[in-house]
Amino acid sequence: MTKSPLIVFDLDGTLVDTAPDLVGALNFVLQREGLPLVPVASARTMIGAGARKLIERGLEIEGRAMSVADIDRLTVDFIAYYRDHIADASLPFDGLHASLDKLEEQGFRFAVCTNKLEGLSKLLLAKLEMTGRFAAICGADTFGVSKPDPTILRQTVAQAGGDMSRAIMVGDSGPDVGVARRAGIPVIGVTFGYTETPIAELKPDVVIGHMRELPGAVQSLLTAM
């Protein structure tokens, strides 16, 4: 029996606009250290590699160097604060639910593969009442590897009961394109996410500028598979 096609999504900057709450947590720890706050608009491209990297990038902006132990401490505090404020202002991107409804009607199933911690990912999606959409929600600590290591994508597809030959990745940045390429599946890039390098320059198979374009993009790739 042929398995249903599976669409695997990145989370931050792809499914959900999480920048306001992530930057809020960053500014909480920066302000406590006596450092200037980082504007949300300029910090959007710093998101996507996990909490620790976000803090390191925030410190780099101010030319501030800290010990590994201090960054460890800030990371713990960041995660604690973020957990309590994870969905204060974060929202699904416009058009997401309508597109998922349409794709579900067409027989597609969904999973999440993110470099966010699994527990935080599940908490966020629960707060947004989206958990039931996904057959698997896997993070950087689920399998002990992060994107672009293809193991995280392959294991996410397996956990969702999917087949790599009928899977498509959707993401907003280099790790998403990289993990799809290394795992040998097609990838759709979104232009509204968090990346320093414009997504088109990373050469995904298809680029979309709004979630309303997702069903058409998926169908075009499925036809070519």
Which residues are known to be catalytic? 10
Element (H, E) at 190: strand 187-190
Contacts for 67 with CB less than 8 Å, ≥ 6 apart: none
d(CA 24, CA 140): 22
DSSP label at residue 44: G
Q: Which amino acid is at 22?
A: L
Per-residue 3-state assignment (H helix, E strand, C coil) for the chain = CCCCCEEEECCECCCEECHHHHHHHHHHHHHHCCCCCCCHHHHHHHCCCCHHHHHHHHHHHCCCCCCHHHHHHHHHHHHHHHHHCCCCCCEECCCHHHHHHHHHHCCCEEEEECCCCHHHHHHHHHHCCCHHHCCCEECCCCCCCCCCCHHHHHHHHHHCCCCHHHEEEEECCHHHHHHHHHHCCCEEEECCCCCCCCHHHHCCCEEECCHHHHHHHHHHHHHHC
